[in-house]
Structure 1
Amino acid sequence: MTIDMRLRPPLESWKTTAQFKEGTGYYPSRYGFPRPKSVSTQDIGDLLVEMDEADITWGVVMGRQSAPPHGIVPNGEIEAFIDQHPGRFVGFAGIDLRDIEKGVADLDAYAHSGKFKGISIEPGAGFTPLYSDDPSLFPLYERAQELELPLSITLSGYLSSMAGHPTSYGNPSPVSTVARKFPKLKIVVSHAAWPNVMPMLEVAFLHDNVYVSPDLYMNHIHTPGAHEYIRAAKFYLADRLLFGTAYPSRPLKESVEGFRQWGLDQDLAEKILHKNAARLMGME
């Protein structure tokens, strides 16, 4: 039983992006991760079969409102998709940081929709890049905290670089400021700021409201730094480390099997694969 914290299904808005287009030189393919069959067919039925084969019960569709080549996936499209496949997907609504005032105003609807379990921002990959602790983002954080909506901040140097911005925007250290200023806000750092692994783990060590979601960067024992996420889980992060595949970057079953290679005891593995995410999103 597994909750995948970063699963991007072949919605219309995603089908033209590098994640789904063949021949793009997309980096997981360059480094030996095979493409799932459902990427070639772009068929939801094939994706559901792959989810069942991997024992993935829920997929979390992380909304995206970022600069090219990442692009924009309208929240209405995500919501309609969740309606079409009840009991298999939930969403984190993507917030367009070009209009934070509107983003704040929309949070009430997301909090009460039943379909969105949180909100998603990618400040380092925006049309105008921002660090996570930019004061312009504080109204968004404050309202999310009031509504008890978990917040995903996607961070990695590669993500920022793809959008044409310096890799420094993938630095997780500014998250510490956010976590301290908004102590009741549950913050998920998607991509876990890889390859800034140790600074990320420092932030999570200091702040109990920070969750770490390395997705594909944890699911291969030879990924540089991946073992540090696991070591942290055995030390202090057992209740705040989350599993994700970053599908379609890598096949689902292969990702789960890659995670299983860590040989964790059953209790810790269940926390990372399911229990932590279920508790975070109120799906226990």
Structure 2
Amino acid sequence: MIIDFKMKAPIPGWEALFESGKTGIKDVFPQLKNVTPTTSSSLTDVLQEMDKQGISHSVILGRNNDIGSSNEALQAFLAGPQGERFFGFIGIEDMTVTEAVETIHRFGRTGDFHGVAAIPSKIKPLTPIGDPGLDPIFEACLEYGLPFCMTLSLLISLISEKPDYDYIHPKQLIRVAQKYPDLKLIISHAAWPFVQESIAIATHFKNIYLCPDFYTAFPGGQQYIEAAKFGLENQILFASCYPNVPYHYAMEHYRREVLDDRIANKIFYENAQQLLKQHKSQ
């Protein structure tokens, strides 16, 4: 079985976001120029793709409280019969710290979510992820036992209001990981291109998890999987970033590097299962 730790789905209210995701980054990276987008357009199509790939569950990272990508729409979906194969993270994009904390309390108490998701460059005002001013967010996550997933990569930095190459550097997380050892910190995009730096901090802090997404196919990306063979087998997560790339593309590059069945099972399933504290039937 496989748990996909990052994807978008055409859930009610999110259809436009799903469609835009199919081609949204193809022109940004030459590595993706010739990748054929998925033809799926409905939730039924996506579920059929998941079945074909052996994906039992997927994680939908929330965005914000706005129409078209709202936490409300995600919550309604997760609580309904169609949400059985999905886990949702509360989205706190485009919010101040106070708004983010209020949102975590509002949705965290429902029990419908399994984590909190943020693109740090969209927190208002722009604040480095390691700044103490963000501590109320981390403490709210801990209150509900929710892991915190942040998207860090050069692409995310370049589209921020104040592009800064060092903004995504994994060193920003050292203070947070030290102060909150019980908080699970997941780096979506694994802070590429700071590959060795993200591997280094995960080596020193067992509460940090790396989710390389489609960056396993980028220069240096194979090192994330190699790190799993040398001590980080419990801290690497599979994520497709679907529909930005199709499932087969995402899985191909993970499987090409993983030769050990035991490690593959951890990356594709066990590590995510433990993080999510699964209670849904398999």
Under a length normalisation based on structure 1, what TM-score does the superposition of the two structures give?
A: 0.87
User: Among 83, 98, 102, which residue is 2:99 paired with?
Assistant: 102
Aligned to 1:9: 9
Under a length normalisation based on structure 2, what TM-score does the superposition of the two structures give?
A: 0.88
Identity between Structure 1 and Structure 2 (%): 32
Distance apart, 1:238 and its partner CA: 0.5
Whole-Å separation in 2 of the counterparts to 1:26 and 1:114: 37
- 2:65–2:71 contact (8 Å) kept in structure 1: no
User: Among 256, 271, 277, which residue is 2:251 paired with?
Assistant: 256
Whole-Å separation in 2 of the counterparts to 1:208 and 1:164: 32
Equivalent residue letter for 1:119: V
Per-residue Cα deviation, 1:4-48 (whole angstroms, up to 9, x for no partner): 11011124346157424679835478533220111xxx2111111
User: Among 170, 187, 190, which residue is 1:189 paired with?
Assistant: 187
Say if 1:44 and 1:26 are closer, same or farther in 2 by CA, change over 3 A. Answer: farther
Whole-Å separation in 1 of the counterparts to 2:73 and 2:22: 17
Aligned to 2:36: 34
State yes or no: 1:141 paired with 2:138.
yes
Residue ranges of structure 1 left out of the alignment (5+ in a row): none
Equivalent residue letter for 2:7: L
Give the secondary structure class of the aligned counterpart of 2:114.
strand
Give the secondary structure class of the aligned counterpart of 1:224.
coil
Per-residue Cα deviation, 1:93-147 (whole angstroms, up to 9, x for no partner): 0114533223223334433433210001111244543211122211111221232
Aligned to 2:63: 64
Distance apart, 1:163 and its partner CA: 3.4
- 2:5–2:59 contact (8 Å) kept in structure 1: yes
Give the secondary structure class of the aligned counterpart of 1:277.
helix
The farther-off stretch of 249-258 and 197-206 is 249-258
Give the secondary structure class of the aligned counterpart of 1:57.
strand
The farther-off stretch of 233-242 and 78-87 is 78-87
Give the secondary structure class of the aligned counterpart of 1:193.
strand
Say if 1:144 and 1:22 are closer, same or farther in 2 by CA, change over 3 A. Answer: closer
- The count of aligned residue pairs is 275
Whole-Å separation in 2 of the counterparts to 1:99 and 1:209: 25
The farther-off stretch of 238-247 and 255-264 is 255-264
What's the C-alpha RMSD, in Å, of the aligned pairs? 2.6
Per-residue Cα deviation, 1:158-217 (whole angstroms, up to 9, x for no partner): 112123431332222101111111111110011100111111111111111101111111
Per-residue Cα deviation, 1:204-244 (whole angstroms, up to 9, x for no partner): 111111011111112x3xx2111211121111211111000
Say if 1:106 and 1:245 are closer, same or farther in 2 by CA, change over 3 A. Answer: same
Give the secondary structure class of the aligned counterpart of 1:37.
coil
Residue ranges of structure 2 left out of the alignment (5+ in a row): none
Say if 1:27 and 1:81 are closer, same or farther in 2 by CA, change over 3 A. Answer: farther
User: Among 135, 156, 161, which residue is 1:159 paired with?
Assistant: 156
User: Among 56, 74, 80, which residue is 1:78 paired with?
Assistant: 74
- 1:157–1:168 contact (8 Å) kept in structure 2: no
The farther-off stretch of 58-67 and 197-206 is 58-67
- 2:91–2:117 contact (8 Å) kept in structure 1: yes
Say if 1:181 and 1:6 are closer, same or farther in 2 by CA, change over 3 A. Answer: same
User: Among 210, 228, 235, which residue is 2:230 paired with?
Assistant: 235
Give the secondary structure class of the aligned counterpart of 1:163.
coil
Per-residue Cα deviation, 1:56-103 (whole angstroms, up to 9, x for no partner): 111100012499xxx972101111222241321110101145332232
The farther-off stretch of 265-274 and 85-94 is 85-94
Aligned to 1:88: 85
Aligned to 2:111: 114
Aligned to 1:49: 48
- 2:2–2:56 contact (8 Å) kept in structure 1: yes
Give the secondary structure class of the aligned counterpart of 1:86.
helix
Whole-Å separation in 1 of the counterparts to 2:155 and 2:260: 32
- 1:118–1:152 contact (8 Å) kept in structure 2: yes
Equivalent residue letter for 1:15: A
